[in-house]
Amino acid sequence: MCRPSVNGQDLPREYLNTAPQVAYVGDTVCRACHPAEFTRFKRTGMGRSMRPASAADELGPSAAPATLQAAVPGVSYGVYAREGKVFQSEEGVDAKGREIFSEAHELAYSVGSGTHGRSYLIWHEEFLFVSPLSYYTSENRWDLSPGHDTGLYRGFTRPAGELCVYCHSSLQLVPGTSNQFRQPRPGAAAIECERCHGPGQIHVAQRSSGAPLADAVDRSIVNPAKLDHSLRDDLCNQCHLAGDARVPRPGTRYADFRPGTPLDKVVAIFSVPTAMKGAGLQALGHVDQLHLSRCWTATEGRLGCITCHDPHAEPQGNGAAALYRQRCLTCHVSKSCSVAAAKRRQTQPPDNCIGCHMPRLPLANISHTAFTDHRIPRLEGAARRSLPAGGPSGNPKLIRETHPARTGLEQSPEDLRALALAYVQVAGNYPAFAGESLTLIERAARLFPRDAEVQASYGLVLLVARPGERDVAEAALQRAVDLGSSAVEPRLRLAGLLIEDGRPEVAVHICQNTVELNPYSPAALLRLARTYSVLGDHKKAVSTLEHLLGFDPGNEVARRTVDIERNASARP
């Protein structure tokens, strides 16, 4: 039998659909042959991961509006329905209660299954942003979205990042951008079958033609249960292993990951040692927690997510407790429990292993939300006592979560690159890593002189760590821009340095290009307006600020600055 091919190219012997040229077909095609699995999957959290927002779904039959105060005094947010659509608004008032600004946006997507809560996305043309209000199911109420509650984000200006959208939806990022996405095909928004099984082009063609299987395993499409342990786990790790630093491989996007291949080929993931972290569980910490459990270490990794979780089904209530108890009893025996059987039967539901060994605990990084503790502590109550207290470490090292040995990248220059960028990512929150981050990024900058991300990180780190080497930092930032970096921060820092050098005419071109790449970045537009002002072109400064206020009317800096620039432009 000839080996299958796509576009004239032979495909590998393993799972044939791991090859990058194999096309995705969409889960409506899967439904034709697997209607039962499709229907069950669409009822799970993954199958409900994102959907178009509607007034009926988000506000219920009463469509009752809600209003909440923002972290900024005088600013409030609201949510309301109109003509079957749901909107969120922002309003600012002065000390006398007079309106300063207001804006409202239709919610495009509801993100999340609703088990714990839902957040929302809005469109600005093809760019996606996170709205300021989320709905928290456990407390049956609206409140500020994560990041908005601390004042880190404001209004409707928080970009929806690639990882957030990838892990909740089937939307595709436009290459070279940070939050520009292609509109999904009709009916497609949530995670689909091919996220775990891989693209279905070959599978559909072979099964439709009635071609016989080449061996006992259908190699036309990935079956997660038949993968080796690490490749099996990478299917879940792509979204459920957040880590503290994620470094995409050069030229890759999250969507380049193919089930049945090592995740490390697409992204290297690192974690800060548990002892250094603040108290409490973290969202997306399931994998990290499981790796701390005796259940995982004793099985040498044979235990995985799908040992207990069926991706096609999501049991509820007493049924879930009974199901997971049966999962526990595949390795344990009832008599090994130190709690008397009579006492265990008094729990609700009775004899519930999960209730004692995997309790729900509040999250440290998301308000009003509790997740199941996957560390599986042996003794009842140990879960709360064993939460990390945080604290410094003398010579901390990041923990590599992905597996470079399976990708041929261990101890390679590419591996050093990933490690250096990871240390730079975590050093901002964990100063104990700052020294090592500088050492590693200097080495990486020498090894990768034509890597835009490495040069940008090197320049930014050097500005902080060694202010006396400003010229070296500026040169690195200039290389990053010349090499095509679209990131806002290194571009704007370079523009600021050029203005200090007395070269605003060069800085303005960098700012203009940054705005072209990131048209809804308040920081980029503010820097462009200030650069116009330095050049004495106050009319262009006013025009730029007015454009900014058109989509971000709550921007206090822009409102204050535009009046100054208007006065300057009116002077003869």
Q: How far is it, in rounded angstroms, from Cα 18 to Cα 337?
A: 44
Q: How far is it, in rounded angstroms, from Cα 235 to Cα 143?
A: 32
Q: How far is it, in rounded angstroms, from Cα 79 to Cα 66?
A: 5
Q: Which candidate, 537, 530, 534, places its Cα nearest to that of 561?
A: 530
CATH 1.25.40.10 in the chain, residue ranges: 408-570
Distances (CA, A) of 515 to 212, 319, 525: 55, 53, 6
What contacts 463, CB < 8 A, 6 or more positions away? 470, 473, 493
- CATH homologous superfamily for the domain 408-570: Tetratricopeptide repeat domain (1.25.40.10)
Q: How far is it, in rounded angstroms, from Cα 288 to Cα 366?
A: 17
- What are the two backbone dihedrals, phi and then psi, of residue 18, each rounded to the nearest 5 degrees? -80, -15
Token code pair at residue 483: 């090499």
Report pLDDT for 391: 45
Q: Is there a contact between 302 and 290 (Cβ–Cβ < 8 Å)?
A: no
- Cβ neighbours, 10 Å, residue 260: 26
DSSP code of residue 441: H
Q: How far is it, in rounded angstroms, from Cα 61 to Cα 79?
A: 15
Report pLDDT for 558: 98
Distances (CA, A) of 61 to 56, 57, 285, 414, 568: 6, 8, 35, 55, 53
Report pLDDT for 149: 85
Q: What is the pTM of this model?
A: 0.88
DSSP code of residue 93: E
Report pLDDT for 249: 93
Q: Which candidate, 123, 1, 4, places its Cα nearest to that of 52?
A: 123
Q: Is there a contact between 230 and 300 (Cβ–Cβ < 8 Å)?
A: no
Token code pair at residue 305: 């997510």
Report pLDDT for 125: 93
10-residue averages of pLDDT along the chain (572 residues):
51 79 93 95 93 87 76 92 93 95 96 89 96 90 89 93 92 91 77 96 94 87 92 93 92 93 94 76 70 86 90 86 88 82 82 84 60 78 46 73 76 92 95 95 97 98 96 98 96 98 98 96 98 97 98 96 94 78
- What are the two backbone dihedrals, phi and then psi, of residue 152, each rounded to the nearest 5 degrees? -65, -40
Report pLDDT for 387: 44
Report pLDDT for 280: 56
Report pLDDT for 11: 46
